Chains A and B, each alone.
Chain A
Amino acid sequence: MKRLLIILSIVILAGCSTAVPVQRHFPDVPEDMKQNCPEIKLIPPGTTKLSEAVEVISENYGSYNECRVKIDAWIEWYSTQQKIFDSVK
């Protein structure tokens, strides 16, 4: 009788069992976006030629532009992925 009651209670409780197998993965980020921004280059001390300074400065401008594009990409990535994430309800 005891065994019967135990089995019966297990069967009754099993009526409430539910399984939620849905899993969501954190979205990937393109590898290029994971790289750090380059360091700013310094003008070699003792430089007297303006053209050499201009060259270093223009390289730094290039680094900035590259970094800006990367930051813009992060902003776009976040807003796009957020929209996609929120669309699943």
Chain B
Amino acid sequence: MWQFQWMLSLIPDAILNWIYWAIIAVGLTGMIASWVGRLIPFYGKYAGILKPIGIALVILGVWLRGGYDVEMAWKAKAADLESKVAVSEQKSKDANEQLNNALKGKTKVIHDVQVVVKEHIVHDASVIDAECKLAPEAVKDLNEAASNKIGDVK
């Protein structure tokens, strides 16, 4: 089935449209010829065959023409959607770039502040250590809080 659809897809839409109209036209001509043919003596015996063929061709042509319209409507919808998707993908990229720049900026500020704070601590170390000695219990408690393994739970 797909081979036939593929073959049909090779034919330009405008030509397909003409083919379908031609099938309808041939069918209508056959039907008219079958009615008129009865009046012609030597042609009359073929008129009976022309009628069902003409009707079948008209039905086939109308069916295909309807299918063609549906196909065109879907193609138009798909093209519209494709253009919308392309716009949204570009928007998505732009938003990502903006977000990435903002993230880099904020991270840099945090690092810069950290450097300054570290310098302050080094500068103020003598003052900080002057009147306070850290008890081992404090270190133990702080490390316990820091090494909370809740993040490792799967």
Q: Which residues of A contact B (CB under 8 A)?
A: 8, 10-25, 27-33, 40-43, 45-55, 57-60, 62, 65-66, 69-70, 73, 76-77, 80-81, 84-85, 87-89
A69 and B74 contact, Cβ closer than 8 Å, known pairs A40-B146, A88-B88 = no
Task: For A76, give the chain B residue with the smallest CB separation.
Answer: B99
Which residues of chain A have C-beta atoms less than 8 A from B89's C-beta?
Answer: 25, 27
A58 and B114 contact, Cβ closer than 8 Å, known pairs A17-B5, A47-B134 = yes
Expressed in whole angstroms, the minimum distance between the Cβ of A46 and any Cβ of chain B is 7
Interface range, B side: 35 or more
Which residues of chain B have C-beta atoms less than 8 A from A42's C-beta?
Answer: 143, 146-147
- Are A28's CB and B92's CB within 8 A? yes
Q: Is B45 located at the chain interface by the 8 A CB criterion?
A: no
